[in-house]
Amino acid sequence: MAHYNAPFEIHVHGQISLRLEVGFTQLQDALKPLWKYAGARSLADASDSFYEDEPGIFFDDAEHFLRMCWTVEGDDDFRQILDEMCMNLNDLVSEGAAIEVTFYDTRFDDDDEETDQDVDSCDDFFMLFVGPDPAAIMQVQRNLLVQDVISLMEIHFDVTDLGGVVAEIDQLFRQRFDNLVNSLQLGRPPRGGPSASVHGNGRKPRHLH
């Protein structure tokens, strides 16, 4: 698929632990939405990033990790392939993991002083989560939230005083998990379930590792 005059540079970043029996062929099938979008015929053909200083998409066979630091040119339709990719990866991963996705509006080059200041940037950043089961996904969500909250609050409080805050976060996730289990038992999809993405504002720097 060619993306002429693409309005975005889309960066996908994550490190995902795979089950020991997972091989390259299975991984290529799971990531087919990505490499098909890039207009490639295989994962190997699409593994290089748009930027040469990024590692791209790499299957670490020795450590059984999928490592992604990969940029592709594209449009908003890229969002449509992400759910399929995550569902495919859920069947291959050994534990929960986060995938960062950043849309950089190509009209706003940080070095371009001639950019129209009256045009709003359409940059977007969000996180997706994959895991072998909902509990694993919620665990990585919980860990990231605790890290963020502690980083914010340790400016004002000693870390040793934040045990109660962490306990409240754990309680919220226990309630979410209980609600998920109950909804599945009733045959209903959970509201705000673990596949929900977390959005942020502002331009994030590209990862180089």
Per-residue model confidence as pLDDT tens for the chain (209 residues) = 555 578 999 999 999 999 999 999 999 999 999 999 999 999 999 999 999 999 999 999 999 999 999 999 999 999 999 999 999 999 999 999 999 999 999 877 655 555 555 556 678 999 999 999 999 999 999 999 999 999 999 999 999 999 999 999 999 999 988 888 777 665 544 444 444 455 554 445 455 44
- pTM of structure: 0.80
Q: Quote the pLDDT of residue 191.
A: 42
Tokens for 94, please give them. Answer: 């050994």
Strands 124-130 and 198-200, bridge-based pairing: antiparallel
Q: Quote the pLDDT of residue 208.
A: 44
pLDDT digits (tens, 9 = 90+) for 96-152: 999 999 999 987 765 555 555 555 667 899 999 999 999 999 999 999 999 999 999
The domain segmentation of the chain, as residue ranges, is: 8-132+194-200, 136-185
Give whole-number Cα distances, 143 to 48, 96, 98, 124, 131, in Å. 31, 10, 11, 23, 14
Strand order in the sheet with 8-17: 56-60, 65-74, 8-17, 97-105, 124-130, 198-200
